[in-house]
Structure 1
């Protein structure tokens, strides 16, 4: 899976603040069951495919399924059968986008997106890896059955959950990338250093690669010490805002940050990591931010 790939930005914040959707529990996957929602999702992903085409690189299309797991699904009215269906349909929708852009981008791949069982901003007790594997396996199995190219687990806050996701992905035959989030000090919300989180996950169940998401580049950079396994971090999906998770969670207006400053900070972080291939955004970012990041990488 070598190559350079554009991926998308802050889907949920874009849908809420730029498209006027109400997303209970911050869940975007129910839009797959709505005609306007599906059309909006297709247009959203095509904006990023256009960025990939402009730069002559590939596109990684992450399904809108960050909340499509049992606990969050139940909260918005989906049972196990409904979740299985919608996770498969998400892959099919993005496969259609990939097919339409296949003659304009270097390579297209569809990634089944997994989110944390808990709240990505408010981690709970330490997670048992076997329990996490059992919990996430049905969603990963749906992605595999629908023909996803890989799985991506985003905004994880706990090594145990990361290990469980990797084990479950291996069970169903999917390559898998794991993405942790960090606080303003560059550490996971439970205080684990980013380097230790990478090492501990690799020791128990190594993913194909790591990412970091849902934090400003300057926050991530504070966690990049000299002896970490930074060559294992192959992707970044950063926040536009330099505010903390707690501050962002309390906001009622979008903080879109400054794309110029974001691009400069992203460039500094890439120099520290050394091998980033997948670049997109997270909360507060849209296609204009991701386009700026890729222009800065030219």
Structure 2
């Protein structure tokens, strides 16, 4: 099945909630300091633990009979981090192959399953002053994008980008390689990308600079209230197609590195997410920090009803 065609015709697509964060809070799992959960794909117990989490998210979408997007854990697996960690340069491939095995096992005509490849910014996703320029980003991220494309991902999900400049470079790299992508930025509670660009203006700039090459845009690592949909121009929602939302409505500086699991009211979270879908047409719904299968399950149950 074709991801682009399925996305275009579906009303809603469920993606995953938190994965690495849930693993980090387990006492029987140790994440890599810079590559997080990715090296677990080459460890029997690590694969088992990740499989359990992905299976929960997959089953939620399957029960609702909606398309499902699960992403290989490749968020920060760029060549710089791999070389510094002394890890195999084929770790992106290994992570994608792990997810493709799950895809083959869990595929269902009533709920088509797709594998995404994650890619994140080079530096801190909450510090836009550390973001790369357009040219730097296109050059730096091309290596990982080639690896993800060669491994056969259905789509690249560019996640947690804090500045328009680096986002444009990645989008251009995706276009030159020929892999479909969705760009997801981090915004603050005023609806601004962290480099202080208004979200609607950021989307306009990125589209103009890339010839409208992304399949669409998302936001992630934000509470759904941060989108401020009632204050946005209607044309934004022709291109803003999804959200992976934090469970907490706190600001990023209050959440980053917190030893305590931060969660706001789940029902309120779920209803806000559903409103973004039904009223504003944002198709891809999923969770980020603080979420688990209960959050995605709430959305699923309301979709089905």
- Tell whether the structures are fold-level matches, with TM greater than 0.5: yes
Shift of 1:25: 3.6
Matched, 1:219 2:226: yes
Q: Superposition RMSD on alpha carbons, in Å?
A: 2.0
The aligned residue for residue 55 of structure 1 is 64
Matched, 1:13 2:27: no
CA 39–163 in structure 1, closer or farther in 2 if over 3 Å, else same: same
Which 10-residue stretch deviates more, 146-155 or 40-49?
Answer: 40-49
Matches within 5 A, 1:1-298: 1=4, 2=8, 3=10, 4-18=12-26, 20-23=28-31, 24-25=33-34, 27-78=36-87, 82-83=88-89, 85-103=90-108, 105-125=110-130, 127-205=132-210, 206=212, 207-221=214-228, 224-226=231-233, 228-271=235-278, 274-298=280-304
Which 10-residue stretch deviates more, 33-42 or 59-68?
Answer: 33-42
Shift of 1:71: 3.8
Counterpart contact for 1:185–1:223, Cα < 8 Å: no
Structure 2 unaligned spans of 5+: none
Deviation string, structure 1 residues 143-200 (Cα, Å, up to 9, x no partner): 1111111111011111111111111112222101000111122211121111111010
Paired residue secondary structure (2:54) = helix
Paired residue secondary structure (2:24) = helix
Structure 1 unaligned spans of 5+: none
CA distance in 2, matches of 1:88, 1:43: 21
CA distance in 2, matches of 1:125, 1:271: 36
Shift of 1:265: 2.1
Q: What is the number of equivalent residue pairs in this alignment?
A: 293
Shift of 1:44: 1.4
CA 224–135 in structure 1, closer or farther in 2 if over 3 Å, else same: farther
| 4+ aligned runs moved over 6 Å, structure 1 | none
CA distance in 1, matches of 2:181, 2:248: 27
Paired residue secondary structure (1:229) = helix
